[in-house]
Amino acid sequence: MSSLNPIFDEIKSNKVSKSNSQPKGKPTKPRKERSDKTQNCKLPVDHILHMQLRRYVKLAYSLYMKKTGKPLSQTKFNTLLLRYVLNHQDIINWDWPYKDSKRYMHTNLLKSEHREIGGPYGLAIQKGFSDRKTVYIMIKSGVQWLERGGDLEKII
C-alpha cells in the first residue's frame, strides 16, 4: 500500500538523505568572540559591606541617571567601582582579611578587563589569591576609599 504523498514512500524506503550534514570541503571556523562580552564574578559580602554598597548605589543613582539617562543597578555600581579600582591600583590594601560569607554580590567586567584580574598574568596570580578573593579585596578597598572621602562622580 502506498501513501498519497510520495515523500512518505521515500522515507519508508530510506532513500531520503540527511539534510543536517555539513557541506563537504568547507572547514568550519570558530566564531569570533564579541568584544563587549562580560565575565560575571560574584564576591562574598558581609553584612556591613553589603549595607555600604547599597548605600553608595542610592547615593550614586541620581548622578548616574543624569549622566546616562539609565537607572543604576547594584551590579552595575559594583562593576563601575571595581573598574575604577582596577585603573587606580594605588588605593588597594592587599591586607584585608577574607572570609567567604555565603552571601554574594555580582560584578560584570568585560572579558578583557577580567583578564587583568584573573588571567594568566593577572593580579590574582601575582598576589597568590583566588579570583574571588582578589575581587573582594579590590571592592573592599574601593569602599574604604569612598568612606575616606572619595568622589562618587569619579567612579561614574
Residue 16 confidence (pLDDT): 47
Residue 26 confidence (pLDDT): 72
Bridge partners, residue 109, by sequence: 39
Rounded Cα distance between 88 and 90, Å, is 5
Residue 35 confidence (pLDDT): 87
Residue 7 confidence (pLDDT): 75
pLDDT tens by residue, the chain, 156 residues: 677 777 777 766 665 455 555 556 677 889 888 889 999 999 999 999 999 999 999 999 999 999 999 999 999 999 999 999 999 999 999 999 999 999 999 999 999 999 999 999 999 999 999 999 999 999 999 999 999 999 999 999
Type of residue numbered 88: H
- Structure pTM? 0.79
Q: Which residue has the cell 552571601?
A: 103
| DSSP symbol at 148 | T
Backbone angles phi, psi at 40, to 5 degrees: -80, 135
Give the DSSP H or E segment for 65. helix 47-68
* Cell numbers given for 129: 589569591
* Cell numbers given for 101: 560569607
